[in-house]
Amino acid sequence: MSHKRRGIHELYSDDPIAADELVWGRKSDPLTRRGFLTKGGLAAMSAAVGASIPFAHLMPGGLIPAALAQSDEPFVIPGKEDLIVLNDRPINAETPAHLLDDRVTPGKYLFVRNNGREPAMPGIDPATWTLEVGGESAERTASFTIDELQATFRHYTYQLQIECGGNGRSEFVPPAGGNQWSVGAVGCPQWTGVRLRDVLEHVGIRDDAVYVAYYGADAHASGDPNKVPISRGVPLAKALEKESLIAWAMNGEDIPHLNGYPLRLVCGGWPASVSGKWLARIVIRNQVHDGPKMTGSAYRVPCEPVAPGSEVPEDQMCIIESMPVKSLITYPKSGIEHALGEKLALRGHAWAGDSSVDTVHVSIDFGATWQKAKLEKPVNRLAWQHWKAKVGFPESGYYEIWARATDSEGHAQPMVLPGWNPKGYLNNACHRIAVQVA
């Protein structure tokens, strides 16, 4: 390989800025991740990451170094630790990737995505909480306390992965409105409860049933008691899967307040918006559910790919079902320094909606070459899978580690971005971390 490095101007002739203009995070108008897209230049990039970039000739144009991920000041949320708060009304907070290193996500590190106002904590009494089950395709209406659910139906425990449909939204260009999630609106705790299926069969499912939906006890953000913040559902077949649970416990304890205490639905592998928190009512529907955030363009993507920035008519938007294949590098933390000559051990998780992950590969050269990681099987269906790998570096400088998973149907993660969509859903691009080798 003779073509080691090319000049800055060959690579980035568009509006390069002088390195001395760039002091990351110390200017009055600090450089943002988006800023790099318009102001990028190799010298600027090297200055900002604080080292030469040995594989710069392989770096896609416009790529923002993972070393420059914005870090926000931690903000305290009861029961949570070190989450990055994107919005506090309603509360939306994600987990930094390196805090998702546990095999089973602890409660303090599970992201929070609220659409409205959570029910106030001292007011929730698990002894009197009731779940109603009905809907036009239910044979009858029934209601259960949590004690009754526990006494009537068999208990099951599964580790189930939940990921917000908007996870990764912050990377899309043109940008989409909404919470600017980076990679941490995902987790895989262990859930205990009864099968949704057993409860539905107990009340009776009519022949015309097609959908199962939830209502929670949270209030609309406006405070209007006649409005519901969110009410979504899944097709009957997903509701009847053995892993679809009505859960009262997470990791063997009460579900954390902000994650749905005392009862929630968990349908793993689908956008987590189908997993209703503070579960109050389940309805068996004879049509595709039409609650808030189920209609219009919410949790929908264009049925056919569109050009970035397109306006897509509502009738050409399709409901998101199983989530796409994805992975995370949870160790090391992005931005570490590593000694040249020593191998670096990497690890993380990978998941693939209703399907499973077949392989995970890692790259240290912006995706030019890939090395296969060791991948474990999931502990049960719809749980994430753990991977690990060791990499070495040819010389000192700035590197990025990229991880790329491929599912059992052969779909791999896109290296930089998947197809654009108006609401910024389903960004399953490779996770990237920065490493300084010296």
Ligand X SMILES: Nc1nc2c(c(=O)[nH]1)N[C@H]1C(S)=C(S)[C@@H](COP(=O)(O)O)O[C@H]1N2
Residues that bind ligand X (CB under 6 A): 110-116, 162, 164, 216, 218, 229-230, 259-260, 272-273, 275-278
Site for Mo ion, residues 126 to 185, rule: CB under 5 A: 164
Q: Which residue is nearest to ligand X (CB)?
A: 216
Q: How far is the CB of 264 from ligand X (least distance, A)?
A: 7
CB of 114 or CB of 190, closer to ligand X: 114
With CB under 5 to 8 Å by kind, the binding choice for 135 among Mo ion, ligand X, none is none
Q: How far is the CB of 302 from Mo ion (least distance, A)?
A: 19
With CB under 5 to 8 Å by kind, the binding choice for 284 among Mo ion, ligand X, none is none
Q: Which residue is nearest to Mo ion (CB)?
A: 164
Give the interface size with Mo ion as a residue count (CB under 5 A): 3
Q: How far is the CB of 271 from Mo ion (least distance, A)?
A: 6
With CB under 5 to 8 Å by kind, the binding choice for 323 among ligand X, Mo ion, none is none
CB of 273 or CB of 413, closer to Mo ion: 273
Q: How far is the CB of 147 from ligand X (least distance, A)?
A: 22
Q: How far is the CB of 423 from ligand X (least distance, A)?
A: 12
CB of 182 or CB of 273, closer to Mo ion: 273
Binding-site member from 273, 327, 363, 413 for Mo ion (CB under 5 A)? 273
With CB under 5 to 8 Å by kind, the binding choice for 281 among Mo ion, ligand X, none is none
Q: How far is the CB of 58 from ligand X (least distance, A)?
A: 35
Say if CB 348 and CB 329 are below 8 A apart.
yes
Site for Mo ion, residues 78 to 137, rule: CB under 5 A: 113
CB of 279 or CB of 364, closer to Mo ion: 279
Say if CB 283 and CB 212 are below 8 A apart.
yes
With CB under 5 to 8 Å by kind, the binding choice for 110 among ligand X, Mo ion, none is ligand X
CB of 119 or CB of 424, closer to Mo ion: 424
Q: How far is the CB of 311 from ligand X (least distance, A)?
A: 24
Judged by the rule CB under 5 A, the positions of this chain that interact with Mo ion are 113, 164, 273
